[in-house]
Amino acid sequence: MTKASSTAAVPLQIVPENMFGKHLYVPDWLLDSFSYYDYLSQYPMILINLFIILLSYNVKSSLCRTYALNIAIPTLITGIYNIVRHFLNDYFMEHSDDATLCRTYALNIAIPTLITGIYNIVRHFLNDYFMEHSDDAVLQQLDIALSCLTTTNSLNLYEVQGTFMTMLTYFGCVRPILYKKLFNESNIRLGFFLGHILALLLSAESFFERAYPMLLYGRFFLRIHTVVVVVVKCTVFLAMLAFYVSTLVKLKNYPITRNMDVQKSRLRAVAIYCTPPNVFLLLTLIGTLCSARITFKLNSDGTSDYTSCTPLLAIVYNLVTVRLIVNSVCVLVAFADYRRKVVAVVVEAKNRMLCRKNTRIFSSRQDSTRSY
């Protein structure tokens, strides 16, 4: 038996250390490549979510704005954490024991994702420092806690608030009377707030699972909260899937009339936004089940001989940044207000470049004329 905590350091550690350790039968070069890619991908993730947050100030209050902010803000926080964590990686390794809905949603996604990207970049530069202090258990637990509060929380937010957003859009188009009765502005804000609370609770569970080899609390409690988390995540996923399929069916069967254009556009936005992230969400659900299986196989001393799921978990955890980027890009593609603002920004930038070019040409011609 081998301790499940990691003994090898990689730049930008995304894989929970206690799940793999010496039983992780994945080539080192592959893990290093994943880690380096994760580090590089923090930059576009930060820029995209910062862009979403800035655009939200010019986007009218709507369901899409609320949703976008709820995704962007946690993802930004995750990015910042990952940057800081990267710079501190060596030190940690050295101390280890082994307003409207669309705008609000966009900001809630973009800001945490941006923070996550910034953290991952900083964490990458501090990797050597963490490795030099790998024997500090408190520092290792702090590292895991920060990772859970940023990266894990950003992913949980999409699962929870993405489901809430899909549900609101579906009922707003298909059951408008019920929607107006139940989902006023204050109730929608309360729903997003409760989504943050649920995401944080799931992130806290992730901390206790990953820190188990250092804490070594009772396996009974470990298994209890693991079962609770699996049930909650499966329920959220099934709810997301149900509303998503219902949205696709409704979109296909919508009558082609002018009066239905707005509702059909909103449903199409949900379909566009949910399709790419849901591919990764299914993979993540499989990873959650594998992680739970490993948890149930842990011994009282934090060791494990169960290795069947480790390659899959390595892939799941090293696709974290890809998922965050996909979530953020889909906000810009799916929501009409953000698409229009992106086009406006691109056109304005193009016009400015053209204006500067013409100014330089005109100045050059004037100088040539004066020389004669």
Question: pLDDT at residue 351 above 70?
Answer: yes
Q: What mean pLDDT do residues 120-129 have? A: 71
pLDDT bucket at 10, cuts 50 / 70 / 90: very low
Q: What is the pLDDT of residue 9?
A: 36
Q: Look at residue 287 and tell me if it is in a domain.
A: yes
Question: pLDDT at residue 366 above 80?
Answer: no
User: Higher confidence at residue 303 or residue 53?
Assistant: 53
Q: Look at residue 277 and tell me if it is in a domain.
A: yes
pLDDT bucket at 19, cuts 50 / 70 / 90: very low
Q: Look at residue 370 and tell me if it is in a domain.
A: no
Q: Look at residue 189 and tell me if it is in a domain.
A: yes
Lowest-pLDDT choice from 4-13, 40-49, 224-233, 281-290: 4-13
Q: What mean pLDDT do residues 311-333 have? A: 77
Encoding tokens for residue 93? Answer: 């390794």
Please tell me the distance from the alpha carbon of residue 48 to that of residue 241, in angstroms, as a whole number.
26
Q: What is the pLDDT of residue 27?
A: 60
Conformational region of residue 21, where left means phi above 0, alpha means psi within -120 to 50, and beta covers everything else: left
Q: What mean pLDDT do residues 57-62 have? A: 82
Question: pLDDT at residue 56 above 50?
Answer: yes
pLDDT bucket at 25, cuts 50 / 70 / 90: very low
- 66: β partners: 102
Q: What percent of the chain has pLDDT over 90?
A: 0
Q: What mean pLDDT do residues 9-17 have? A: 39
| CATH number of residue 274's parent domain | 1.20.1070.10
pLDDT digits (tens, 9 = 90+) for 135-184: 777 777 777 888 788 778 877 887 888 788 888 878 877 787 888 888 88
Average pLDDT, the chain: 73
Question: pLDDT at residue 322 above 60?
Answer: yes
Q: Look at residue 372 and tell me if it is in a domain.
A: no
Q: Look at residue 371 and tell me if it is in a domain.
A: no
Q: What mean pLDDT do residues 66-93 have? A: 70
What residue numbers bound the domain in which 136 lies?
A: 2-365
Q: What is the pLDDT of residue 20?
A: 41
Q: Which of 271, 269, 276 is nearest to 249 (CA)?
A: 271
Contacts by residues 229-237 (CB-CB < 8 Å, ≥ 24 positions apart) = 229/202, 229/205, 229/288, 229/292, 230/288, 230/289, 230/292, 232/198, 232/202, 233/159, 233/202, 233/285, 233/288, 234/285, 236/159, 236/160, 236/163, 237/159, 237/281, 237/282, 237/285
Q: What is the pLDDT of residue 97?
A: 36
Q: What is the pLDDT of residue 16?
A: 42
pLDDT digits (tens, 9 = 90+) for 186-207: 888 888 888 889 888 888 888 8
pLDDT digits (tens, 9 = 90+) for 328-348: 788 787 777 788 888 888 888
Neighbouring residues of 316: CB distance < 8 A, sequence distance ≥ 6: 283, 284, 286, 287
Q: How many domains does the chain have?
A: 1
Q: What is the pLDDT of residue 18?
A: 41
Q: Look at residue 247 and tell me if it is in a domain.
A: yes
Question: pLDDT at residue 58 above 60?
Answer: yes
pLDDT digits (tens, 9 = 90+) for 101-124: 666 666 666 677 777 777 777 777
